[in-house]
Each structure stands twice: as structure tokens, then as C-alpha cells.
Amino acid sequence: MVSAIVLAAGSSSRMGSPKSLLTICGKSFIRHIVDELTAAGVHDVVIVLGADAKRVREALTWFTGRISINERWSDGQLSSIVAGMRAAEDWNPEGLLLCPVDHPLISRSVIESLVETFRSSGKRIILPVFKGRRGHPVLFARKLFRELAAAPPEIGARALVRAHPDEIVEVQTSEEGIQLNVDTPEDYRTMILKQDKE
């Protein structure tokens, strides 16, 4: 079984409002991600909140999974990954998909490909690639959870990607959305324009 952690604890300082609640395809970023995970058969989902936790949580009336509040969100993304791992611990997942909320255009098909590759390959790190560049979400096997939790905070999950090149499988995709990172209002406008053209 694969579970997912939606990382939505950041301050969204450059955006000026919670990125989780921005909309794409008629849904908030966070709902779009959860809906795609569910459609792909990933039903055990933890949403990690931090900055603006109260405001975002009030908008999650539709969500039936687990919510973890990371009081140490300012320590960086790794602290949110660890909070999510603790919340998912009793599910005993074979792997975890890490889904940053500022990469909202993940799709059911990419998620399904990552999970299928994880199950068939026996490798510990599965990630999507578009035109030679890696993106999100990334799937880590249970055997790496302890190492992930102990990674250097300033590097986070990237430390494992660097340390275990032989454990990586790259899943090729035609979806640019795996790379689209929304940090600023300009990023958001660019993403909306791309969606309008499709």
C-alpha cells in the first residue's frame, strides 16, 4: 500500500495568500491534488498544515483523511515531511508519495505510473521526468523512511536522491505539470494561461 503526504505548511510569503486555496481547473490546489490521488487509488492521505493552518483547515470540510499541524513549519519542508510520516505511521505504508501543494498539476495518470513502477521495480525512489528534468511527486519506499527523517534539514529529501542513485527509477511522462512550481503571483498567472491554452 502506498500513502501520500500533501505538503501545505509553508507561509506562501511571495504569493501573499495560502497557495493551498488558489484554484486551478475549478478546484483549490489542495483539493485537486487529493482528488487526483484518490482517483489513482491512493486513499490514505495526510495533509500537513503549518502557516495559515486555521484558515486552510476551515476550507477542508470536504477532506476525510488526516490533517497534521506542523508547529515547526518554519524549520523547512523536511519538518513537514516528518510530521506527515508520523501521522501516517500506523497505516504502515510500503511507500510514501510526497506531494508539495505548490506543484498542483499532478495527475492521476502520473501517480498511477509511479505506483505501478514502484511495485514492479523493487526500487526505493520513483520520480517522474519530463523532457529530461525531474519533477513531483516523488515516491519513497518504507526502507528509506528512517533515513528520510534524519536527512539534513537544509537539503531534505534531495539528500536521499543524491545518496541512492542506484535505487532511482525515472518514469517518463509527457506532462509538464510535474515541473510547474507556483511560488509567486506571476507563476500562478503563467500556469493559468497554460491551462487556458490546453
| pLDDT tens profile 44-87 | 999 999 999 999 999 999 999 999 999 999 999 999 999 999 99
Task: Give the residues across from 170 on adjacent strands.
Answer: 127
pLDDT at 193: 83
Scan for cell 495527475, then name that residue.
Answer: 107
More confident residue, 6 or 26: 6
**Count of domains for the chain:** 1
Q: Residues 103-126: what's their mean pLDDT?
A: 97
Q: Residues 130-148: what's their mean pLDDT?
A: 98
Instruction: Give residues with Cβ within 8 angstroms of 197, minimum separation 6.
Output: none
Scan for cell 527523517, then name that residue.
Answer: 149
- What CATH number is associated with residue 133? 3.90.550.10
Task: Give the residues across from 140 on adjacent strands.
Answer: 96, 125
Q: Which DSSP helix (H) or strand (E) runs through 80?
A: helix 77-88
Percent of the chain with pLDDT over 70: 98
Asked if residue 197 has pLDDT above 80, the reply is no
In which band, very low, low, confident or very high, does the pLDDT at 195 lie, cut at 50, 70 and 90? Answer: confident
Q: What pTM, to 2 d.p., does this model score?
A: 0.95
In which band, very low, low, confident or very high, does the pLDDT at 12 lie, cut at 50, 70 and 90? Answer: confident
Percent of the chain with pLDDT over 90: 89
- DSSP secondary structure letter of residue 169: E
C-alpha–C-alpha distance, residues 9 and 133, integer Å: 25
Supply the range of the domain harboring residue 154: 2-197
Crossing angle of helices 29-39/108-121, nearest 10°? 50
